[in-house]
């Protein structure tokens, strides 16, 4: 399919790509095993439970036990649940780590296409591409997330292969046999980007950035618009393949295909018309926005998921800004971009990704793709800024040294993200107290993750969460939380239950077990409380019942 200076060179490149895939797979599996078992909050809250609920038709049997995250698509978590049930948590985790390692061959191809444009010998091109690949995939967040279910570096595989396919399709250095193959590769690139968004909506900035990049490719605006249209439609197809079923289900149930997100637009009657967006990490001033990559390394809240100084995004930020300034003031830089629009377009991809991410999230792990692309993007930026090879080489080496130090420093701090735990025979090592909860309704309060307990409980036990991060935003009183259709559904289910009640909450969250329970006419029997111990947060479970008449 790919024709370089000879078909033999194309075969050699294919073999190098497969070798990179194999070596990265082994490396990531070893890193994941050495780090320990995934114990991130989202895993305990919804990654494991959502797959279980989806496969066992418990969406309305339980009601929102994983809080607002109950309504997130379970599709990406189903393979991990299946693998865990069939082969155990170690095999499932290492399987995910191996898949996450498949970023590496995509990065190798991206780096190869960039370096090949400098007309180096084949051996030098391969060697430099391998070096950039090692620096790229051993990014701090990749080290932290290897083998976890967070999804950020799992979907990064789709995004990075989308970039690789797009660059292969439009490269002047690796020409393709036939226009049909070029069209197919562009469509595949956009399809992969759409799949990434459908699997995890926070990948939206990458799909938007890829479409922006497409507008730079082509000799005429009509050609660019044709490519843009092809890729927009392919992205939509990929999104529908990954998210279409779940989106339709949510629309059918709640009249909002993204429920509970963007409800200020869809106006579902199941909750207030508010946007449940995490504003914790966003900059609050113009200066904070402009200098965010430097400030978030000093601001503990913005990096609470990691315990290391992450220098990749600041390096990428400075490189992109300097390259942009060169385009404004240097005819040589503009000529360079005109001659090499494809690799230069990577900086537009970076810019669109970063700005969109900054406005929507400002959560560092959602930016893992740019962390991985930083070494290659630095090379592209340096090629725009510097005319002389020695200047470009010095700038690249300085930036890559900084990137390497960042990764090394992260590795010294261990795997802080997700609070890894030791490997055990069962996933959560749950020890239920001797309560007979079969057939009962367990009401859940508080904000702690606890849905991970449900797959180990008797299957006829219903878990109904009456307050959570779903109904805090936009409500001024307990009563107001339930003045919507979801609250009405909760009241109806609690009122119709004719079995026993229990109340469950985390340590330190006893105060949540009062006002909301009272709203439903339920009281907690405090002298009956017991502890559910596990690898996750300990939970208190108490008998409860309807208010007793005086």
What are the tens digits of pLDDT across the range 313-359?
888 999 999 999 998 888 888 887 887 788 889 999 999 999 999 98
* Sequence-distant (≥ 6) Cβ neighbours of residue 335 within 8 angstroms: none
Q: How far is CA 42 from CA 49, 146, 531, in A?
A: 10, 15, 22
Summarize the confidence of residues 128-146 as an average pLDDT.
89
Residue 9's pLDDT band, with cuts at 50, 70 and 90, is confident
Could you tell me how far CA 262 lies from the centroid of its own chain?
18
Residue 174's pLDDT band, with cuts at 50, 70 and 90, is low
Query: In this structure, what token pair is assigned to residue 250?
Result: 């949510």
What's the pTM? 0.93
Query: In this structure, what token pair is assigned to residue 22?
Result: 């194999």
| pLDDT reported for residue 525 | 93
| pLDDT reported for residue 390 | 67
Distance CA 134, CA 408 (A): 12
Nearest to 362 by CA among 431, 289, 421: 289
| pLDDT reported for residue 515 | 86
Contact between 463 and 490 under an 8 Å Cβ cutoff? The reply is no
Residue 304's pLDDT band, with cuts at 50, 70 and 90, is very low
Distance CA 4, CA 122 (A): 11
Residue 52's pLDDT band, with cuts at 50, 70 and 90, is very high
Name the 3-class secondary structure at 430. Answer: coil
Biggest CA pair distance of the chain: 91
**How, if at all, do strands 462-465 and 2-3 pair?**
unpaired
Of the ranges 48-57, 326-335, 396-405, 502-511, which is most confident?
Answer: 48-57
> Is the peptide bond prior to 260 cis by the omega test (within 30 degrees of 0)?
yes
Contact between 137 and 101 under an 8 Å Cβ cutoff? The reply is yes
| pLDDT reported for residue 343 | 86
Specify burial of residue 183 (Cβ count, 10 A radius: 0-12, 13-18, 19+). middle
Taking the alpha carbons of 211, 214, 220, 222 in that order, is the dihedral positive or negative? negative
Residue 305's pLDDT band, with cuts at 50, 70 and 90, is very low
Of the ranges 69-73, 130-134, 298-302, which is most confident?
Answer: 69-73
Query: In this structure, what token pair is assigned to residue 85?
Result: 């049930």
Name the 3-class secondary structure at 175. Answer: strand
Name the 3-class secondary structure at 312. Answer: helix
Residue 3 has pLDDT above 50, yes or no: no
**Where are any strands of DSSP class E within 152-215?**
175-176
* Sequence-distant (≥ 6) Cβ neighbours of residue 178 within 8 angstroms: none
Quote the Cα angle for 265-269-273, to 5°.
35
- In tens, the pLDDT along 10-41 reads 788 899 999 999 999 999 999 999 989 999 89
Q: How many CB atoms lie within 10 A of CB 223?
A: 11
Residue 417's pLDDT band, with cuts at 50, 70 and 90, is very low
Name the 3-class secondary structure at 413. Answer: coil
Of the ranges 8-17, 251-260, 284-293, 431-440, which is most confident?
Answer: 251-260
Contact between 49 and 161 under an 8 Å Cβ cutoff? The reply is no
């Amino acid at each position: 399919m790919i024709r370089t200076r000879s078909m033999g060179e194309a075969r050699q490149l294919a073999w190098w790509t497969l070798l990179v895939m194999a070596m990265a797979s082994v490396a990531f599996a070893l890193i994941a095993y050495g780090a320990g078992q995934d114990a991130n909050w989202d895993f305990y809250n919804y990654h494991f439970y959502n797959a279980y609920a989806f496969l066992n038709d418990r969406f309305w049997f339980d009601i929102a036990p994983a809080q607002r995250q109950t309504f997130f698509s379970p599709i990406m978590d189903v393979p991990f649940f299946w693998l865990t049930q069939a082969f155990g948590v170690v095999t499932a985790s290492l399987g995910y780590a191996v898949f996450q390692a498949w970023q590496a061959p995509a990065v190798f191809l991206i780096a190869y296409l960039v370096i090949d444009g400098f007309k180096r010998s084949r051996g030098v091109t391969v060697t430099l591409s391998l070096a950039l690949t090692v620096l790229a995939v051993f990014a701090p967040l990749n080290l932290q997330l290897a083998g976890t279910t967070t999804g950020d570096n799992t979907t990064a595989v789709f995004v990075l292969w989308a970039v690789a396919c797009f660059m292969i399709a439009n490269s002047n250095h690796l020409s393709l046999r036939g226009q049909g193959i070029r069209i197919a590769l562009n469509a595949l690139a956009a399809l992969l980007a759409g799949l990434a968004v459908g699997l995890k909506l926070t990948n939206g900035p990458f799909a938007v950035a890829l479409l922006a990049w497409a507008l730079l490719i082509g000799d005429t605006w009509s050609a660019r618009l044709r490519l843009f249209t092809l890729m927009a439609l392919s992205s939509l197809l990929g999104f529908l393949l990954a998210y279409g079923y779940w989106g339709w289900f949510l629309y059918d149930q709640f009249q909002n295909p993204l429920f509970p997100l963007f409800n200020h637009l869809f106006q579902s009657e199941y909750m207030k018309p508010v946007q449940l967006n995490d504003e914790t990490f966003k900059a609050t001033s113009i200066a904070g926005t402009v200098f965010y990559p430097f400030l978030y390394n000093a601001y503990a809240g913005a990096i609470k998921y990691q315990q290391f100084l992450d220098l990749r995004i600041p390096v990428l930020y400075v490189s992109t800004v300097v390259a942009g300034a060169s385009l404004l003031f240097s005819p040589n830089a503009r000529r360079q971009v005109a001659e090499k629009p494809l690799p230069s377009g990577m900086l537009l991809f970076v810019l669109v990704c970063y700005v969109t991410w900054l406005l929507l999230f400002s959560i560092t792990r959602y930016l893992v793709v740019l962390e991985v692309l930083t070494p290659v993007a630095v090379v592209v930026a340096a090629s725009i800024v510097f005319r002389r090879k020695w200047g470009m080489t010095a700038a690249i080496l300085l930036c890559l040294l900084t990137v390497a130090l960042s990764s090394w420093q992260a590795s010294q701090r261990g795997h802080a993200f997700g609070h890894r735990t030791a490997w055990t025979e069962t996933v959560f090592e749950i020890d239920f107290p001797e309560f007979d909860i079969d057939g009962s309704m367990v009401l859940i309060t508080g904000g702690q993750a606890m849905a991970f307990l449900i797959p180990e409980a008797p299957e006829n036990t219903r878990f109904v969460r009456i307050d959570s991060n779903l109904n805090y935003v936009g409500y001024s009183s307990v009563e107001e939380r339930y003045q919507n259709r979801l609250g009405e559904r909760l009241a109806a289910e609690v009122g119709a239950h004719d079995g026993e009640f229990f109340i469950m909450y985390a340590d330190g969250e006893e105060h949540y077990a009062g006002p909301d329970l009272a709203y439903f006419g339920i009281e907690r029997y405090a002298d009956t409380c017991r502890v559910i111990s596990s690898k996750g947060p300990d939970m208190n479970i108490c008998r409860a019942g309807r208010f007793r008449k005086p």
